[in-house]
Amino acid sequence: MAFIHRSASYTTDDGTRLNNERLEYLGDSILDSVISEYLFKLYPYASEGFLTKTRARIVNRETLNNLALSMKLEDLIVSNISPNGSSRNLYGNALEALLGALFIDSGYKRTKRFIIDRVLKNHLNLSEVIEGEMDYKSLILEYGQKNRFPVNFNISEETDIETLKISFSATLIINNEVYSTGLGNSKKEAEQDAAFKAWTKIRSAT
């Protein structure tokens, strides 16, 4: 069931509709939990901000899609949609559904071992993930465009009286709602910080 996309759903004799959406929901939660603990132990002196950003880079759609493709899960997916750019997420979704199925079949400990030993260590270059800079502003703008939400960054500038150092604050407003406020030494840095906080909020709500 983990590899049946909703476009290929079928109904059993008792009326049950089968596809991988519920397993995907479960696997997403399991993955977040395992990655959080894994990074917490791997980087014992890292800040909360570093751990949160690294986790977000690992569990974002594009990384999960690439992990699924590296694992050749596309050969197992049952779908009635043509493969194109807009359908790439079905690969990452199938990976999450697989993790949800493993959790149901084998429990948390074995699923955790599978994620760390079979997925992360074999198919993810963690150094590249950490060094790579995710463009969260572009993700937010794309999100706004896709949902037809207006997206605005309101920038304010402050100067420290003692050091005369200039810092920036960016308030991110999506669809007339304040989503987050970011800080930085430049306008770009403040916008990226605000976009990252908003993207984390959006992802946790989906």
Give catalytic residues, as residue numbers. Answer: 28, 96
Q: How many CA atoms lie within 13 A of 62 on its CB side?
A: 9
Distance of CA 193 to the CA centre of its chain: 16
Q: How far apart are CA 67 and CA 62, in angstroms?
A: 9
Distances from the Cα of 131 to the Cα of 31, 94, 103, angstroms: 21, 27, 31
Question: Is 154 in a helix, a strand, or coil?
Answer: strand
- Evaluated on CA atoms 132, 137, 142, 144, the torsion sign reads positive
Q: Give Cβ neighbours of residue 103 (< 8 Å, ≥ 6 apart).
A: 26, 27, 30, 111
Name the burial class of residue 65, with classes exposed (0-12), middle (13-18) and buried (19+) by CB atoms within 10 angstroms of its CB: buried
Q: Are 109 and 28 in contact (CB under 8 A)?
A: no
